[in-house]
Structure formats: C-alpha cells, structure tokens
Amino acid sequence: MMKESYKLARNNVALLNLQTDGRFRVSGPDAEVALNQLISVDLEVLSFWKGVIGLFLTETANIMAIATIFKCEDGFYIFTEADSADDLCQYLAAEIPTRGAVFEDLRNSHEWLSVLGPRAQDVMSKSAGEDILGLPYLSFEENERLGVTLFRMGFCGEFEYRLLIPVDRGEAVATLLLEGGAEFGIGQVSPEIMHVLMLEMRSLTKADLPENSDPIQAGLHWMISFRKESLRGGEVIHKMKLAAARQSLMLRIDQSGCVTKGDRLQIEGQDVGFLSCVVYSPTLETDIGLAFIDQEFAQNGVSFDAKGRNCNTKAMGASAPLFVTKTVQSA
Amino acid sequence: MNSNTLQEAREIAARRRDLSDWFKRVLIERLSLQLEPEEIANDSPLFGSGLGLDSVDALEIAIAVETEFGVSITDEDLHAFRSVNTVLDFIEERMPENV
C-alpha cells in the first residue's frame, strides 16, 4: 500500500491530508518584530506573499522546530511538521503575546491539504485556475476560485501545492480536487509517505534528528541568517560552525532491513557515528539514512560498517538529493 | 560496497573536504555571497529555498568548474547542480584524470 502511494506521488499526483501538521498564524502591528526575535532567518528582508524556511532555536541553539514562514500584509503563517507541532504551538502561544502580537492555532479551524507530484500543476491549474502556473516556489495567494489560501511549497523534489481551507469547506475542496484530478491519475494517500519522500531529498524533520541537535551538526546552515542581529543561539552557532564535533551525512545502506535508528557506525571496529533515522527508498530499492559522524570521517565516499542488532551491513556517504525526480527532469 | 580502513577513510574524507572548501570559496567569490565557507553545508540546496541562487549564478558556477577542472558541462548536466555535494560528485566523475 505504501509502495503504491509512493509511486503515485513520484509518478503522477497524490492528495494528502496533513491533518496533524502544525499551522499557525501570528498577526498584529508587532507581529514581525515578535516573530523575528524567535526565528533563525531575517523576516525584515522577506517580501509580502513570499515564504522562507527557518528554525526555532533555544538559547543554546538546539532545534525546537523546522518551519516554513509566509509573510502576509497583517502577519505571518507558520507551518511545521507534525513531530514538532505541539511543542511549537506551546512555545509560540507563550512567547508571542508577551511581545505584543496575536497568536492563533489554526489546526482546528483549518484543513491542510497537499497536492504533490509531477502532475500537481495540471491538477491545480484545472481546479484553481491557470494563473497558479505563475506562482513561484515559496509564495502564496488567496485563490478565489477554490476559496482557499494556496501555498506553493514542498520538500520532496516534486511540484507541490498546499491548501489552507476553512474546516467546513475541507471535504468539498478535497472532493473537487479528486474529481478534477482524475484524468491526471490523482489518488488520496496517507501522509505517512511524506517522510520517505522528504528524506530522499534530505528535507529533514525534527524526528530525523537526535535530541538537542544544533543546526550546524545537522547541516541546516542554509536555514540561518548568520548576519542577523540578535540571532537566537547565535553565540553557540558561531562557535559551532568552526568546531563541530560531528556532522550529519546521508547514507545509502547496502542491505535493507538490517539497521535502524540509533545503530552504530564503525570503521575498523572503531565507533565513528550513529544512525539518527533509517527508511526504505522505493526508488533506490535500498535503505537510506541520516547519520551523525565524527567530523574527520563525515564526507561522501567514505564507507562504514553499520552494526544492526541482528545483522551488520555496509553504508556509504551519499550526496543529497539522492536522485533527480521526474519533476526536476521535466523542469 | 567495500569497507575502508581508518587511514583510507581519512584520506577519502580529506580529499573531499579540500575539494569542498575550494568550491565554497569559488561560490562566495564569484557570486559575491555574504557568507564564510564554514557557513555553507555540503548538502545545502543551491537554488530556491537554499542558497537562493538563480540561472545566471548556475552559468557562473559552470564556467568556474570548466575553468578550474577542465570539465565541460552541457545543459543536461545542469541536473547535477542541486547542492554543493552533487556538484562535487560531478567534478570527481568527470575530471580528466578520471576519464
């Protein structure tokens, strides 16, 4: 079932209800100042109707949540994966009001759907109008035809549109997308496939990382505005970037089903790292994983002995994204 | 897939690190990025949400790779320009001494 869902997303187009993902809003005249104090990117340079991917960090630069933030005229939309939704909600609900802005949790009031795959543009241009073909990556619009807020975003190397829909209209919009997308082979699939699709492109969620990870060892440098004044956790980040003990590395694992999260990686019997997540990639027909490796060995091309609880296998550092998708090929 | 000895692993990693450092310096200099090399991760996406480069920047990178390594690049090869690491893979595969 998972394999069929995966194929639909990689070869045609899939509809996913991302019900458990975090979706929040921060508004009011002080919204930008308030949110900018908490996020790793500089929202002052973000244009209206555009988005950016950033991190919510603790004072000691531990990753609390990976989030996508979109700027609208009266505030911001904030989206995060299910694994950090509750923590981020709690954090923002406590911090934002003390900074003079208004926080809303949209999880009960709005559905959050994804249309994802090489044919996603076809489905959306038919359902939401051809104008959406001009919607750039990381931007959004109020789509009158569907009566939704329509976001162009995505982390799977495919065309992807996300729809924020008032909850009373969610089912009607989903039916419309499925009916309109039938000619393009659309099908509704479980959001569980999202993790595999994302990890193949090295789009990480908090659950892929060990407890108390920092963005430098996680290789998420590009989600940080290093020159931002009062960067939360900035002192630690600037020290860490010069002297991180470990570095994350994507791995292709020789034998699937052998190793899992937490298993050790060795060279000549010496522990040099561990796996922080492992999934099966249907495209590569093998397991892939994210590992945290001692700095001196954390490079592509190095091979490791992966020590599973029941069997051992080999693993090799690999470049991300792990392959070129149909969407990228066609673009 | 063969295992490395510790010595081999150190050598492979050091070679790759040198190449990576070079490429990051080229990116920063040629594209006037307001970053230090250690502020770019090897798997950072080059375009879109990552370093935010565009098609003109891609051309500049292609010229730099051709000039420094004698590796010619066609339009089809631009698929390789997804992250620092994928460009490094491309260079390592196509360097004249490896052909």
Query: Structural domain tally of chain A?
Result: 2
Q: Tell me which residues of chain B have a C-beta less than 8 Å from any C-beta of chain A.
A: 1-6, 9-10, 12-13, 16-17, 20, 34-36, 38-45, 48-51, 79, 82-83, 85-86, 88-89
Are residues A188 and A219 both part of a single domain? no
Domain ranges (residues) in chain B: 3-94
Which chain A residues are closer than 8 Å to B16 by Cβ? Answer: 299-301
Return the DSSP state at A255.
Answer: S
In this structure, the answer to whether residues A35 and A73 fall within a common structural domain is yes
Residue A184 and residue A243 in one domain: no
Residues A226 and A116 in one domain: no
Signed CA dihedral, B16, A41, A279, A117: sign only: negative
Are residues A17 and A166 both part of a single domain?
Answer: yes
Task: Give the highest mean pLDDT range of A60-74, A315-329, B16-30.
Answer: A60-74
**Is the domain of A23 the same as that of A157?**
yes
Q: Which residues of A touch B89 (CB under 8 A)?
A: 300, 319
pLDDT tens, position by position, A210-237: 999 999 999 999 999 999 988 999 999 9
Which pLDDT score, from 0 to 100, does residue B55 have?
Answer: 81
Specify whether A210 is located in the same domain as A299: yes
Q: Which of A175, A196, A217 is the last residue of a domain?
A: A196
Q: Return the SS3 of A271.
A: strand
- Say how far apart CA B3 and CA A321 lie, in whole Å: 24
Distance (Å, whole) CA A61 – CA A63: 6
Structure tokens at A36: 């900018």
**Interface predicted TM-score (ipTM):** 0.90
A129 and A225 share one domain: no
DSSP code for B4: P
Neighbours of A58 (CB within 10 A): 14
Same domain? A212 vs A164: no
Q: Is residue A44 part of a domain?
A: yes
pLDDT tens sequence across A23-54 = 999 999 999 999 999 999 999 999 999 999 99
- How far from A222 is each of A18, A81, A199, B46, CA to CA, in Å? 25, 18, 17, 9
Q: Are residues A298 and A273 in the same domain?
A: yes
Contacts of A231 (CB under 8 A, 6+ apart): A40, A224, A225, A237
Chain A segment 124-153 residues within 8 A of B by beta carbon are 137-138
Choosing from A196, A214, A239, the residue where a domain stops is A196
Interchain CB distance below 8 Å, A202 and B10 = no
Percent of chain A clearing pLDDT 70 (strictly above): 100
* Separation in Å, CA A252 to CA A309, A317, A319: 18, 7, 9
Question: What digits encode the pLDDT tens for the residues A163-204?
Answer: 999 999 999 999 999 999 999 999 999 999 999 999 999 999
CA distance B15 to A297: 11
Q: Is residue A327 part of a domain?
A: no
Q: Mean pLDDT throughout A225-253?
A: 94
A300 in contact with B at a CB cutoff of 8 Å? yes
Q: What pLDDT is stored for residue A295 in this prediction?
A: 95
Residue A146 CA to residue B64 CA, distance in Å, equals 46
pLDDT value of position B96: 62
The domain containing residue A141 runs over which residues? 2-196
- Look-up: residue for tokens 């829909």? A165
What CATH fold (topology level) applies to the domain B3-94?
Answer: 1.10.1200
Contact A299 B13 (CB under 8 A): yes
A180 with A251, same domain: the answer is: no
- B84 contacts B23 by C-beta, under 8 angstroms: yes
Burial B3-36 (b: 16+ CB within 10 A, else e): ebeeeebbebbeebeebbebbbebbbeebebebe
Per the CB < 8 A criterion, the answer to whether B10 and A303 are in contact is no
Q: At residue B48, what are phi and psi to the nearest 5 degrees? A: 60, -120
In a domain, A325, yes or no: no
pLDDT tens-digit series, residues B41-99: 999 999 887 788 888 888 888 888 888 888 888 877 877 888 999 999 999 888 766 44
- The answer to whether residue A235 sits within a structural domain is yes
Q: What is the pTM of this model?
A: 0.95
**Do A85 and A166 belong together in one domain?**
yes
Q: Is A40:A223 a contact under the CB 8 Å cutoff?
A: yes
Sheet bearing A51-57, strands edge to edge: A51-57, A63-72, A75-80, A22-27, A102-105
- The tokens describing A304, both together, are 């490791």
Say if residues A255 and A313 touch (Cβ distance below 8 Å).
Answer: yes
Which residue in A has a C-alpha nearest to residue B45's C-alpha? A222
Domain-terminating residue out of A174, A196, A218: A196
Q: What is the CATH number of the domain that holds A18?
A: 3.30.1360.120
